[in-house]
Structure formats: C-alpha cells, structure tokens
A and B are shown apart, each in its own frame.
Chain A
Amino acid sequence: MNAVISSEQLTMHFRGCDALRGVDLDIQPGTVFALLGENGAGKTTLIRILTGFQSPSSGSCRVCGIDPLSQPLEIRRRIGYVADQPALYDWMTVGEIGWFTASFYSDPFFDKYRESIRLYEIPEDRKIKNLSKGQRAKVALALALANDPELLILDEPTSGLDPMVRREFLESMIGRALSGRTVFLSSHQISEVERVADTIAILHDGKIRVCEPLDQLKGSMTEITISVEDPLVATPSFPEPAEILCETTSGRERQIIVKHFDAAMIEGIESSQSVVGVRVRAMSLEEIFIAYTRGSITSPESIVSSQDDSLEDHRAVETEVSP
C-alpha cells in the first residue's frame, strides 16, 4: 500500500538550532497518526514542510503521492489543515466564512460545513470576533472537515475545546480512519492521543525517536523496580533483546525502563547478587513519552541541571542511558 506521507532525511536548520535532523516517516492510509513531542521539538516545522509552507534544508517528502513544494495547490485540495491558532477573518460571520471558503472547494462543502456548525451549536450569524476560543477552534475544524479530505493534518486540534466536544471530535477521527482516510495529529495531549491514535511517533531533538503502532509500543515497554540490599552494587544486566532505556536509583530501589522485556527474564534478575525483590509494571504512553524525551539528555550542562532538579525534588540520582 502507498504511504500517505513519506519523508526521507528531512532536515531543517534555523538560526541557532536544528529543528529537524533527518526525519524519516512512512504513514499508511486509514490510520490515525499521532506525532508527539515537547515544545520546540519541531512538530510545527515538520507540518509546515508537509503542507508546502516551508522548504526543508535538505531531504524530501511526498504527501498523498505529491511533492508539496512542486504542487502545493494539489496538496491543499486533498488535505485539510488546522493550525493551532487558526487566523480567521474576524469581521466575517460564521456563515460568511463558510460561504467564502466553500468557493474554493466542490459543492457539498457548504452543506457539510453548516451541518458541522449546527452540530457544534454555533449561530451562523455570529461574527468570528465574537466567538470564544473554543468556538473558533470548532469553526476551524468544521472548515477543515467540510471538504472530507483524504488527509487531515491537525496541529493541537483540541486546545480550547470543551471535554464533550473533544471526546466527540476524537471519536470522529477514529471513524475517519475506519473509512480509509488518514488523520495526522500533532499534540502533547498524550492521554487523548492514546485514546484514538493507531500509530505513534515521538519527535525529540529534531529526530523521530520512535514510530510504532500504539499497541506494539506500549507492549514493548516495561518498568521494572528492583530492590537491592547494597545500593552500591551494579544493576544486573538484561539478556537480549531487552534494551535499558532509562534507570533511576532512589535509595535501595532502582527503576529501570526496558524495551522488549520478557517475563522469563525476571527469574534471572531475582537471582542476581544483592537483589531482594523485583516488581514489573506495564507503562502508559505518557511514561513512555517521558522516558524517550528525558532519556536522551546527554550534554554535561543538562546533566548538571537535571541533577540539581533531582536533588531538589527527591534527592535522587538519575543516570542517563541513550535508547
């Protein structure tokens, strides 16, 4: 199956920082794809490149089989895009902006838009400037969805929405994916993403740290807590294919995040020197996200600052392990 979005070694250098450092993506149609990353990770830059607003420093990408830079109009015809703070014409009414936007799309657009607006309970004769933040977000969503695009790109789509609408909206994303369309979500609302996303990608420091189906990602990550008699004893090693992502020592307890852990490995750990107890727990997506994003801090300054933070918080020492 042809990927809806594919990119190869996308890089983007800004003054003083590298927003993207070789991003490779391959998103299949009919999925809800969630791009996670902390503030400044490069999510919006990646979306701007995918939608043809920004040329990358190097690398290439294709969206719906089209190069966004050479055919931006075609891309915009086939996708729906909602920015985190959509700029709409304040002086237009809700109805007017729908009519205005409809003129760029085929006919059912306006009817579908009005249907969504009715669903969101926004009066059509109200001016955009008089709408609340959430209502503006709903109007922007309605405008993006009215075209029934094969790819919907949403940058922080639920910020400003009330819980009820947020739930309905997220559920509608699942419906879209089931009908064969693709949804690209950029968010740090991990709990929401966890509810709807099929595939998760974590962007950190300009790189995709992980890109896997949600179930697979969650299934492969385990938090192991080892109690030891002597805190100076080294952590026991894990057999292949287990991979330690992060290890934290707090007194006589060590918390280790391990990828590809197998329950059969517990017996071996328990038999290690000074180990008095082993507890195993499945991880949430949020914990996985934190593990990926905090686990890669490698610069000396960061270690110093993180040590200071740890001392202030829990007097715990954190050892950093690259994934």
Chain B
Amino acid sequence: MNAIPREMRAFLWRDARQLIPLVAMLVVVTTLILTLWLFTDDNFDGYVPSVWIPLILPTLLAAGCGAILVGNEKETRTLKWIASLPVQPARVFQSKLLVATVALIAMWLAALLLLVGMSVAGSDSIRDVASLTKTSIPWNVSFWVVHTIFILVAGMYAAWRIENAFGSLVAMIPIAGVPISLATISYKCYLIASGHYYDQESATALATLFTLPAIALMVWLGYRAAIRFFAADPPPRVASSANESQQGLFSWIDPWKPPASGIPSAKPFRISLATLLWQAFHQNRLAFIGLSACVLLGMICLALTATQRSYNLVGDSLNLFWVAGFFALSWLGVLSFCGDGSAKSLKFLADRGVSPSTVWLGRHLMPIAIVSAALLVYGLSQRSILAGGYLRAGPMFSMAVITAVMLVIYGVSQWTSMMIRVLGGSVFLAPLLSVVCIGWLIAQWTWIGSPVWVMVICIALPYAVTLMLMKRHMDDRRDLRFWLINFAAIAVGIVGLPIAQCAYQISQFPTISESRRAELQSMAMKFGTDSASPFAIMRVDWNENDYLSKTWDGKPTGQQIAKRLDAIQDRPQDWLEIPSRASQPLQFDTSVLEASIGSAEYYRLRMVDDPSEAAMEQFEAWCEFLIEYGQRMRLSSRLWDQDGADEVAIWLTHTFAKTEMQQFWDRPTTREAMQFISAADDRNEARRRAVLESWTEYHDNIESDSPSRSDFGGYYSLLDFQSTPDFQRPYLVDRRMDVIASVAIEMIDAAENGASTMPMRQLLHQVLFDNELAFDSGPYSDRSAISAMSPNFSGNPNQARVPAVKWYGPWEQDAITLYRSWQKAESTQRQSTVPEVK
C-alpha cells in the first residue's frame, strides 16, 4: 500500500468516495427493478429478458463514472482548485480511471452473482448463466463485459473533453455505439457479399475485435483531454468588432427576445413567460435542439417498427432510434431542474420575486411543445402506415398509450432532476426511474387493477410535486419538509394510492359475516366430511397395442381386429370403465356425459323408428347407465358432480317428455328415470351436502396448504378470476367461495320454502362476474333458464362452468309435471294425456 505515492492514495480515496452515491443509487434502482421483476415474473418473463436486470448494474456504472468523477467535478469547479495545487495531471487521470475500473469490476462480480442467483431461482430467460456467453449480441455476456469497459472509457473521454457535463453525457451515447455499429455493418456487408448465413459467434467475435482497439483509443484520447484540461487556457481568438455592433429594425420577434446591445427597445418581453421561455431555450440551445430532434425521430421510428421486423438491419436501426428517443425525452425532463434549471440558476429569478408557478411553467413549456409535436408526428406516421396498408410485424400503440408513456417519462425525469442536484446522477437515474414507473403503471393496470383515475393521478403527481416544491427549489431550500413532500408523494401517491384503492375494491367485494360462517360450519358438522371421494369414469383404451393386443399374443391381424370389433355390442361397458360398486360416487365428466347422451339419443331414435326389443335394449342400456351415472353423481360431495347429475336429470326430463316416448312409459327404465328426476328432496339434500362439504374441504385444503386447493367442489374455474387482477385474487378467492357456499345454501332453503331464488342468483352473478357481464346476459338470468321441454333446448351441459346455474330452473318444475303425468298414465295404464313438447 505504501508503495503507492501519497498523492495517489489521496486521489484514490477522493474518487472512491465520489463514486459511492452512484453505486448506492444503482443498488437502489436495481433493487426496485428486481422487486418489480419478482412480482411480475409470471407475466413479463417472456417479454422482458431478465438478463437486463443484472446487466443494468455494470452498464450504468460504466456510463455514469465519467459524469460523476469528471463532469461533476468540472461543474463544481473543484478540478480547477485541484489544478492550483502541485499535482501532476496524469495522476488525476490515472486515479479516476483506476477507481472507475475497480468499481466496474466489482459491479460485474455483483452482476454475475445476481445472474447466478436468478438462474438458480429459475428465471425463464436465464435458465443457465453459461448459456449467456453463447447468445447473440447484445445479450452475450462476454461481449457485454468488453463493451462496458468501452462505455466506461468513452464516458471518461467525453467528460474530460466536453466542458458541459450534460453535453458530455449526450455525446457519450453515439460514441458508445460506434464499435458495435461498425462491427454490425461490416459483418452484414460481408454476409451480403459472401452469401454466408449469420453466425452469432462470428458476429460477437467481430464486435469484440472492433471494441478492443476502441478501448485503447478512448483511453489515449481521454488522457490527452485530461492533460489539456489542466494546461493553461490558450488565448481566445479575437473576434472582429464589425459583428459586435449589429443593427436591426423592430419586428414581431422583438418582444420575444432581449434587445441587441445598444439598441433601445420598447418594452421587450411583455409576457413574463416569454422571458423564461427564451432563457430556457437559449441556456441549453444545442441540447434542446439535439434532444428534440431525437424525440421526434424516435417517435417516427416507433411508429415504423410496426412495419419492420426487429431482427433485420433496418428493424434494428429503428429500435435503436426509438430507444434513443426515450432517453432524449427523459433528458428533456432532467434539463428542467438540472444544469440551467438548477436552484442556483433559478435563484436569480427567485431574488427578483418571479412567481414559482410562472417559472415552473416556463421550464416546462418548451418540453411540452416538443412532446406535443412528437405525439403529432407519431399520430401522422401511424396514420400514414395504416392508410398505406403496410404489412404489420409489430405492435401499434394507441395515441392514449403513447401520450401516457411520454408524460410518465418526462414527469418522472423532471421530478428526479429536482430531487437529485448532481446532473450526472439525474441523467442516469431519470431514465431508470421512468422505466420503473412505467413498469409500475403497467403493474397497476394488469396486476393491481387500478382504475384510470388512479393512474392519471400517478402520472400527474410528479408534476404536482415539482410545482409544489418550486419555491423551495428556487430558494435552494432542501429542508426536511422538501424531502417529506417528496417521499410522501412517492409513498402515498404513487405507491399508496393504487394499493389503497385496490384494498378498497377488495373490501367492497361481497363476503359473509362471522355468524354466518359459524352457521355454515355447524351445518357442515351435521353432515360430516367422511363421504367417499368420487371416482372418474375411465374410457376403455382402444389403442391397438394395448387393449386389442390383450387378446392375442403378438401383433393382431386385421381380420382378428375386425372380428373383435364385430363382437362389441356398443354398450356403455364397451367404452367406459365404470366402477362396479353402486355406492361409489362418480365424477362428472362432460365428455363422457355428452358421448353417452349422444349414444342414448341415437338408440332412442332407432327405437322410435323400430320399437323392437333389441332396439329398446340398446337404448335402455345407455339410458340406465345415464340414470346410474346421475344417481352416483348425486352421492358425490362435490358441487360440480351435483350439477352433472342435474344435467342427466334435465336430459331425462327432456327425453321422456317427448310424445313418441309415451309408448315406452311402461318400461322399467322409464320408472327408474321418473324416480330419479322426481326426487326433489333427495336432490336438495345432496346439493346441501355437496355445498357444505366442498366449502369445508376448500378451507381444510387451504389450512393444510394442500395442492388440491385449486378447486372448489370440482370447480377449478372459480379460482381463475379471468378479469380480476392478479394482486386481488388471493384476497377475493376465499370471500368468493364463502359467498358461493352461503348463497347456495340460501338458495336451497328459499326453494324449499317456495321463495324466489332471484336475489341469490344475482349475488352469485356478482361474485362470479364482478359486474363485467350484465345479469340478463349471464348464466344465472331467467333468460338462460330454458325449460327442458322447450324446442330451443340444446342439452349442452353448463357452458359457463359456474355452480348452481341450473338449480331450481324451469326444468325442475317440468320434471315434476312429467312425473305426475307419468304417474297418472301409470295408474290409468296409458290412457291419460301427457304433456307435449312445445
């Protein structure tokens, strides 16, 4: 350690200390992004490569080192003070480069650790860290390491070379892209000339080959610039005096600019805003023009990306330009309160009593005009693309989305620049925070489910905060209140409000009282929870190598198979493996039921056409299976199976009510069917038991964290809130199940007492469709409840897949009517009239 010269040690200490805020900021931002990633992993992993998160650390450090170590020191004039000391300029340069390099190495180690951590955590886009060294640029990690070194030295060079800190940061961007652009263009030219296919390893190697000498060049240029900075300023060239006394006449522009030297002016700047506008523009004229051009070009390119694929040369360039536009917009925001907009500069206006709100507006007028122009450009580009009928290859965002995104980027950036006085810090933090904020807004929309008004507040809040703090900013007062307002705005407005609103939405969701819960629990206790689990009906596997081959040794011949098939009588047991024990509950399988009903209907038609004994047997075989299926589903403790039993009952009612079936009413099968459809009390009891057991089992599964908790009485879709934001689901799902259970029991009670079930159906509709579907269009409406005897009866079982949808519908009355008719006919031996199908 002592081998290092004393002055070098002092420099290293100073530069390391100066980097600490940047490192801290990067850690905070990376943590923020990582947190967002953790929450939104399932939603965005496929679209946003997670590899970005670890790469942010070294990339931003590399880009920010020049601004912090050199640019900031130039801005605060401390480098000029250093120049007054007996210090070798080379030592200053070496120290800054060394500290920056060590920090970059440390950041890369941290980033690689993060990558490994994310890989272990199982991110979809980082399954294997080693694979990142084989991916194409720019995601090739080994190339990125080299490129960050180049960004570092390019940033240092720009900071040494360019006097204006902001200018040096802007200049760094095109410089940083030079090696990779040259390599890409060269490689693509080579591919076109040689006719070879793209090879990512060659492309990466070439990019690295271009970058390595560029690093050496940048170090040398940076060294020269540093030495020049510490050298004596050369005498300026003397301008000709002829240009200095420019004369002119008054024109419309005169009130918008200060008078030329020596020319009397009649009240220039009659509008104070015009003064501020002039000052804002002229102080950063080049920056404004450059950034505005970038924003406008970026918007055109964003619109054009919809017509270009991103993996060709033109598409890649378009992406590059709109990304540059994003940065430019963010930096327009930074310019509001950094550099010329810094508190020290604005103190001049504060001392002259200029209203803070006027100054605030003056700072934003120019960027707002640029944003408006950019939106217009985007709209026109989009319109011409749509009108031109171009083949679209990418998304086309609406004007509302683009407006919101632009307002967020600019708003967050201007806020950042007011909070962070160091230009280098703001310039790097603002784009990052903008991205975080956009991510948060997307999360609000998709994950939390914030309404539009909350998002509008979130977008407007940064503007409101800077307006509120403008006076303090102008007075350069950064007291406790300043920070309290800032943090309150973040905590309460941007984070708290959406969460509070979400909590309010959750609180408004229907629920049951504790007494009702206890009541349900006591009811459930009466039934017990020892019902046998329902079995699924399995299909016979007709696979040649499995079922058929059981009969023969070796591979069967075609004749053998044909003979075997001829022996099949098309009875349910030929196709289905039905559990033999009659007391064993069965699961509702829609495909089994549909196929069985189809077979039964087929044989019914044959029977009606030719009422032979064979035909009747065939029909009755299927019909009896369906009756048994319905009865055994009634034994099930699952809601879903109860609804399956209802489907069977509905079909039986519909079928046996047909006029042509009256001739078969004396058959035992009809008797069984009638007994099944008329057993209203048994049906109610089975439903009640199923509701309570489903509900109890659901809660038991939650408590035991059982994997089967993903259903409620066989209804999986109940937990899948299609339109409900992900964040709200865990809070709503229990309430939903409680309400369904409670309302279903209420519905059974109401039906037993002859009361209307409409209020219960309405509540079920509310908890299941959350007002996104009108009740009259929903499955619980009277419109959906079609009579089993209706000619419109389709027989489709429960398409909505929601519970109790056919409970106490018209079919139950139809079933009673049919049963009574059948009873009457039975007693009068088929002499009575039966209801006809309408």
Interface residues of A (CB under 8 A from B): 12-16, 48, 51-57, 68-69, 72-74, 76-77, 81, 83, 86-92, 99-101, 103-105
Given contacts A55-B232, A104-B7, contact A76 B84 (CB under 8 A): yes
Closest to A19 in B: B235
Q: Mark B208-233, 1 if CB is under 8 A from A, else 0.
A: 00000000000000000000000111
In the complex, chain B residues whose CB is within 8 Å of the CB of A103: 6-7, 9-10
A53 CA to B233 CA in the complex, in Å? 6
In the complex, chain B residues whose CB is within 8 Å of the CB of A69: 232
In the complex, chain B residues whose CB is within 8 Å of the CB of A12: 235
Which of the 9-residue segments B74-82, B108-116, B358-366, B403-411 touches chain A?
A: B74-82
Taking a contact as CB atoms under 8 Å apart, the answer to whether A86 and B235 are in contact is no
Taking a contact as CB atoms under 8 Å apart, the answer to whether A55 and B7 are in contact is no
Q: Which of A48, A83, A100 contacts B14 (CB 8 A)?
A: A100
Restricting to B647-670, which residues have a CB under 8 Å from any CB of A? none
Which of the 9-residue segments B236-244, B346-354, B453-461, B810-818 touches chain A?
A: B236-244
Closest to B79 in A: A87
Closest to B73 in A: A89
Taking a contact as CB atoms under 8 Å apart, the answer to whether A91 and B17 are in contact is yes
Q: Which of B86, B238, B239 contacts A105 (CB 8 A)?
A: B86
A88 CA to B80 CA in the complex, in Å? 10
Q: Which of A54, A73, A100 has the most CB of B within 10 A?
A: A100
Restricting to B242-268, which residues have a CB under 8 Å from any CB of A? 244
Closest to A52 in B: B232
In the complex, chain B residues whose CB is within 8 Å of the CB of A89: 14, 76, 78
Q: Mark B404-420, 1 if CB is under 8 A from A, else 0.
A: 00000000000000000
Q: List 28 A-B contacts (CB under 8 A).
A: A12-B235, A13-B238, A14-B236, A15-B236, A15-B239, A53-B84, A53-B232, A53-B233, A55-B235, A57-B235, A72-B231, A72-B232, A73-B86, A73-B87, A76-B87, A81-B84, A83-B84, A87-B80, A87-B81, A88-B78, A88-B81, A89-B78, A90-B76, A91-B18, A92-B14, A99-B10, A100-B13, A100-B14
Taking a contact as CB atoms under 8 Å apart, the answer to whether A86 and B88 are in contact is no
Taking a contact as CB atoms under 8 Å apart, the answer to whether B236 and A13 are in contact is yes
A83 CA to B83 CA in the complex, in Å? 12
Count of B interface residues, CB-CB < 8 Å: 29
Taking a contact as CB atoms under 8 Å apart, the answer to whether A54 and B238 are in contact is no
In the complex, chain A residues whose CB is within 8 Å of the CB of B241: 16
A12 CA to B235 CA in the complex, in Å? 7
In the complex, chain B residues whose CB is within 8 Å of the CB of A56: 235
Q: Is B234 an interface residue (CB 8 A)?
A: yes
Q: Which of A16, A56, A90 has the most CB of B within 10 A?
A: A16
A92 CA to B16 CA in the complex, in Å? 13
A203 CA to B234 CA in the complex, in Å? 23
Taking a contact as CB atoms under 8 Å apart, the answer to whether A16 and B233 are in contact is no
In the complex, chain A residues whose CB is within 8 Å of the CB of B6: 103
In the complex, chain A residues whose CB is within 8 Å of the CB of B239: 15-16
In the complex, chain A residues whose CB is within 8 Å of the CB of B568: none
Q: A73-B86, A87-B76, A87-B80 are in contact. List 6 more A-B contacts (CB 8 A).
A: A14-B238, A53-B84, A55-B235, A76-B84, A90-B76, A101-B85
Given contacts A99-B10, A100-B13, contact A76 B78 (CB under 8 A): no
Q: Which of A81, A87, A105 has the most CB of B within 10 A?
A: A87
In the complex, chain B residues whose CB is within 8 Å of the CB of A90: 76
Closest to B5 in A: A103
Closest 10 CB pairs between A and B? Answer: A87-B77, A103-B10, A77-B86, A76-B86, A57-B235, A103-B6, A15-B239, A13-B238, A55-B232, A103-B7
